[in-house]
């Protein structure tokens, strides 16, 4: 017991921040990736994590099996609605780089944000009738699904488009995908209150 | 009853001494004695100890054992917080109320420092307390959500091993992800 007390005393002299660092380095790789698995619906934070270190980059990009995006209709090219406090919006221009980086995805889920209108008064996505997702593998085992008709979205209630790549199985050799285009047919002009962003939980 | 409160050195180190450890809730309840890696002795009620899958399987192998269970990978400080969590959890076993359970869980993590959370993760993992591990991982994920890369680095105490060129390239490739960062 005396020895334990001495070691406690020694530990007290070590600065807290240094100790915290030590503790984190003891978090095993397995435990770190478990934290990342909680970020599957937040690709934005995940990608930031990938910039933390080389090791983290490989965890994030190679071990992430599922991703969930919240997608807003893009009123202008390369632009998405401002993010809300609750979630990030992903613009279609960001998709190809995401699909290139996450090399072991088994499934993705795309949710349409009903921003900025909670109720269709007027619904910003009223005229979206179809979403096309085109996946193309980079070898002969191309996995392609075309023309995902998600139906009329005028009463958007958490509309989800989910497509498990290769029916949930990992594609071999190399399981890399890119997105040729994710198109939202939207004839409406951008909503006027776009700058306010979206505060709704999609 | 031995507890951390009897050790002045340790008490000084623990910011919130867990007085609950010393509190006897039911005198007749069977107690299990556990020894942490820093040689602290904890006596916890059997119902609480059985929340630790690792300890539970120890007693499945030796049902009548009255020995002290050594927990070589578990320091006292996070352990006392883990016990606090499990005491709350078993209340919901008799009385399942998902909403209340969620509230209780978020209350539990809310008052914990980053350091507390991080110290508890390996303990929850070693003791195989799935619910707690889940709650902790989620709490850490919530705390780094939308934070800057620099914040995440310092949160986890990780050194940047990218060259500035490599990092710039990554940031450029996913430029959208580095916009609208929450203040550190």
Listing DSSP states for chain A in one string gives -HHHHHHHHHHHHS-HHHHHHHHHHHS-HHHHHHHHHTTTT-HHHHHHHHTT-HHHHHHHHHH--EEEEEE---SSTT--PPP-SS---B-GGGHHHHHHH-TT--EEEEEE--TT-SSSSS-TTTT---EEEEEEESSSS------------TT-SS-EEEEEGGGGPPPPSS--EEEEEEEE---SPPPGGGGG---S--
Residue whose C-alpha is closest to residue B45's, from B74, B25, B69: B25
Cβ-defined contact of A51 to B171 (cutoff 8 Å): yes
Higher pLDDT pick, A158 / B104: B104
The pLDDT, as a whole number, for residue A105 is 78
Say what the pLDDT of residue B170 is: 92
Give A4-31 pLDDT, tens digit per residue.
554 444 444 344 445 445 555 567 888 9
pLDDT band at A96 (very low <50, low <70, confident <90, very high): confident
Which chain A residues are Cβ-neighbours of B153 within 8 angstroms?
52-53
Determine whether the interchain pair B39/A1 forms a contact, defined as Cβ–Cβ distance below 8 Å. yes
pLDDT digits (tens, 9 = 90+) for A130-149: 444 444 444 433 333 333 33
Question: pLDDT class for A77, splitting at 50, 70, 90?
Answer: very low
Q: Is the pTM of this model over 0.80?
A: no
Task: Check CB contact under 8 Å for A56 and B158.
Answer: yes
Nearest to A147 by CA among A159, A168, A163: A163
Cβ contact B146–A21 (<8 Å): no
Q: What is the ipTM of this complex?
A: 0.76
**B121–A27 CB contact, under 8 Å:** yes
Which of A17-21, B62-66, B69-73, B158-162 bottoms out in mean pLDDT, i.e. has the lowest?
A17-21
Residues of B contacting chain A (CB within 8 angstroms): 7, 9-10, 12-13, 38-39, 114-115, 118-119, 121-122, 125, 133, 137-138, 140-141, 144-149, 152-153, 156-162, 167, 170-171, 173-174, 176-178, 180
Does A53 contact B159 at a Cβ distance shorter than 8 Å?
A: yes
Helix H or strand E encompassing B44: strand B41-45
State how far Cα B182 lies from the chain centre.
26
pLDDT tens digits, residue range B45-64? 999 999 999 899 888 888 77
Predicted confidence band of residue A168 (pLDDT cuts 50, 70, 90): very low
Chain A residue numbers with beta carbons less than 8 Å from the beta carbon of B167 are 51
CATH architecture group of domain B4-144: 2-Layer Sandwich (3.30)
Asked if the C-beta of A58 comes within 8 angstroms of chain B's C-beta atoms, the answer is: no
Q: Which of B9, B119, B174 sits opposite A9 (nearest CB)?
A: B9
| Residue B4 to residue B81: CA distance in whole angstroms | 12
Which pLDDT tens digit goes with each residue over B11-44? 444 444 444 444 444 455 788 999 999 999 999 9
Task: Report which listed range, A124-128, A177-181, B67-71, is most confident.
Answer: B67-71
Domain ranges of chain B: 4-144, 149-178
């Amino acid at each position: 017991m005396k020895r334990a007390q001495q070691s406690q005393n020694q530990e007290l002299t070590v600065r807290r921040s240094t100790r915290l660092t030590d503790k984190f380095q003891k978090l095993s790789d397995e435990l770190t990736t478990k934290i990342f698995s909680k970020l599957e619906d937040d690709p934005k934070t995940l990608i930031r994590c990938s910039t933390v270190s080389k090791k983290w980059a490989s965890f994030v990009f190679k071990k992430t099996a599922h991703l969930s995006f919240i997608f807003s209709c893009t009123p202008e090219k390369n632009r998405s609605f401002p993010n809300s406090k609750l979630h990030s919006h992903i613009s279609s221009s960001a998709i190809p780089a995401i699909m290139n980086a996450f090399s072991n995805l088994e499934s993705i889920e795309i949710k349409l944000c009903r921003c900025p209108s909670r109720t269709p008064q007027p619904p910003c996505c009223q005229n979206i009738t179809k979403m096309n997702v085109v996946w193309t593998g980079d070898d002969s085992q191309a996995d392609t699904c075309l023309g995902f008709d998600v139906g009329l979205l005028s009463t958007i209630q958490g509309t989800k488009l989910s497509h498990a790549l290769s029916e949930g199985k990992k594609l071999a050799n190399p399981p890399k995908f890119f997105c040729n285009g994710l198109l939202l047919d939207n004839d409406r002009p951008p909503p006027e209150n776009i700058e306010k962003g979206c505060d709704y939980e999609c | 009853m031995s507890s951390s409160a009897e050790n002045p050195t340790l008490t000084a180190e623990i910011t919130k001494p867990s007085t609950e450890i010393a509190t006897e809730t039911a005198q007749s309840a069977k107690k299990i004695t556990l020894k942490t890696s820093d040689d602290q002795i904890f006596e916890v009620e059997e119902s609480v100890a059985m929340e630790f899958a690792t300890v539970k399987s120890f007693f499945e192998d030796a049902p009548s054992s009255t020995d002290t269970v050594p927990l070589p990978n578990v320091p006292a400080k996070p352990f006392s917080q883990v016990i606090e969590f499990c005491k709350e959890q078993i209340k919901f076993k008799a009385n399942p109320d998902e909403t209340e359970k969620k509230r209780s869980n978020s209350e539990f993590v809310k008052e914990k420092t980053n350091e507390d959370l991080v110290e508890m993760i390996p303990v929850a993992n070693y003791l195989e307390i799935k619910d707690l591990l889940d709650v902790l991982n989620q709490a850490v994920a919530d705390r780094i959500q939308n934070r800057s890369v620099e914040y995440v680095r310092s949160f986890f105490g990780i050194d940047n091993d990218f060259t500035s060129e490599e990092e710039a390239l990554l940031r450029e490739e996913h430029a959208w992800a580095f916009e609208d960062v929450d203040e550190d």
